[in-house]
């Protein structure tokens, strides 16, 4: 075989250009509109956050006069100094951490305990029980009957008043039940039963490890709700040492913004009003830190958990 023939056989065909789907003008317009809409949403979320952080590092006079926008004016840590040196705020911070951790554990445990049996198709009367649970989303006992129940149980002015009355949320029960029914097949339970496993052992060893995304979503929802709640504390608690952070912040803002009394106190009243404006933003930042620290650790599971029931179930 000659050299010319070899070169012909070894000749490599030229690469064909990759085919590309042509976008129509309608698709381009739609894509631009989507990006613009997303940009508006991002600005709507970020601008208030940046404004709050910038105001928290600005002087009281700059905040009250409205000179702060997206960057601190007359940079100062006065607001954070007042917040972090106030013993009531530190006590409320500790109380809120206790309520958030204990309440999340209790609520998540009870939610799993009621949702998993209701997800099993072999449970007699599960649909009726679930219907009764759903009724509580539309009708509640009311504030006064609930207060009387808490009083009769001896939970007034105790931490249990913030942990037990609102321990279970129906929406979280629906999420957990849907996940158990769609992600935990009945064949797994049958195989575990043939191996001699009890229901509790199956729940602990099989169901819970497979349900980490759902548990992360439910726990995060309960934690945020517990951290931000103050109304139950306002109703059931009288001891300031038991107040959560949100109730302490509310009382501080009300006291700082209340009227002083007399013409002599005009200057003092103006200082108090300016400090109240600064404290409002500093307290928002301080109260948001725990949630911002927790979310990155559960973000991966949260992304999976929000898709619960979207494909099947």
The tokens 């003092």 sit on which residue? 268
Token digits for 225? Answer: 């709700």
Asked if pLDDT for residue 13 goes beyond 80, the answer is no
275 contacts 60 by C-beta, under 8 angstroms: yes
% the chain with pLDDT above 90: 16
Q: Looking at residue 138, what is its pLDDT?
A: 83
Backbone angles phi, psi at 74, to 5 degrees: 55, 65
- Per DSSP, the three-state class of 23 is coil
Between 160 and 254, the higher pLDDT residue: 160
**Given 1.10.3720.10, 1.10.10.10, 2.40.30.170, 2.30.30.140, which CATH number is that of 86-305?**
1.10.3720.10
Determine the average pLDDT of the residues in 275-295: 80
> Which pLDDT tens digit goes with each residue over 297-308?
766 666 655 555
The domain spans of the chain are 29-76, 86-305
Output Rg (C-alpha) for the chain, integer angstroms.
Answer: 29
| pLDDT tens per residue across span 202-229 | 888 888 888 888 888 898 889 888 888 8
Calculate helix-pair angle for 87-119, 78-85, nearest 10 degrees: 70
What is the tens place of the pLDDT at every residue in 123-177? 888 888 888 888 888 888 788 888 999 999 999 999 999 999 888 888 889 988 9
Mean of all residue pLDDT scores within the chain = 80
- Please tell me the least confidently modeled range out of 12-26, 56-70, 216-230, 238-252: 12-26
17-21, 49-53, 242-246: which range is least confident on average? Answer: 17-21
């Amino acid at each position: 075989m000659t050299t010319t023939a070899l070169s012909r056989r070894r000749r490599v065909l030229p690469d064909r250009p990759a085919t590309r789907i042509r976008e129509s003008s309608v698709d381009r317009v739609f894509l631009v509109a989507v990006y613009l809409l997303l940009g508006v949403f991002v600005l709507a979320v970020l601008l208030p956050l940046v404004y709050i952080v910038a105001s928290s590092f600005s002087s009281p006079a700059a905040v009250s006069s409205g000179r702060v926008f997206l960057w601190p004016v007359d940079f100062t840590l006065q607001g954070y100094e007042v917040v972090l040196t106030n013993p009531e705020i530190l006590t409320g911070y500790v109380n809120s951490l206790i309520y958030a951790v204990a309440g999340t554990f209790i609520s998540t445990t009870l939610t799993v305990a009621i949702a998993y049996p209701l997800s099993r198709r072999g449970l007699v009367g599960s649909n009726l029980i679930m219907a009764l649970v759903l009724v509580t989303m539309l009708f509640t006992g009311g504030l006064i009957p609930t207060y009387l129940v808490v009083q009769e149980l001896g939970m007034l002015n105790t931490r249990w008043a913030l942990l037990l009355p609102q321990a279970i949320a129906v929406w979280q029960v629906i999420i957990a039940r849907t996940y158990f029914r769609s992600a935990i097949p009945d064949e797994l339970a049958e195989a575990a039963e043939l191996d001699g496993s009890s229901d509790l052992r199956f729940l602990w060893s099989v169901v819970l490890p497979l349900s980490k995304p759902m548990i992360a979503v439910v726990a995060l929802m309960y934690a945020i709700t517990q951290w931000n709640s103050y109304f139950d504390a306002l109703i059931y608690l009288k001891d300031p040492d038991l107040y959560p952070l949100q109730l302490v912040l509310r009382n501080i803002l009300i006291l700082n913004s209340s009227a002083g009394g007399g013409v002599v106190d005009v200057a003092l009243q103006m200082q108090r009003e300016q400090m109240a404006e600064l404290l409002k933003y500093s307290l928002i930042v301080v109260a948001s830190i725990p949630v911002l620290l927790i979310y990155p650790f559960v973000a991966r599971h949260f992304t999976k958990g929000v898709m619960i029931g979207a494909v099947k179930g």
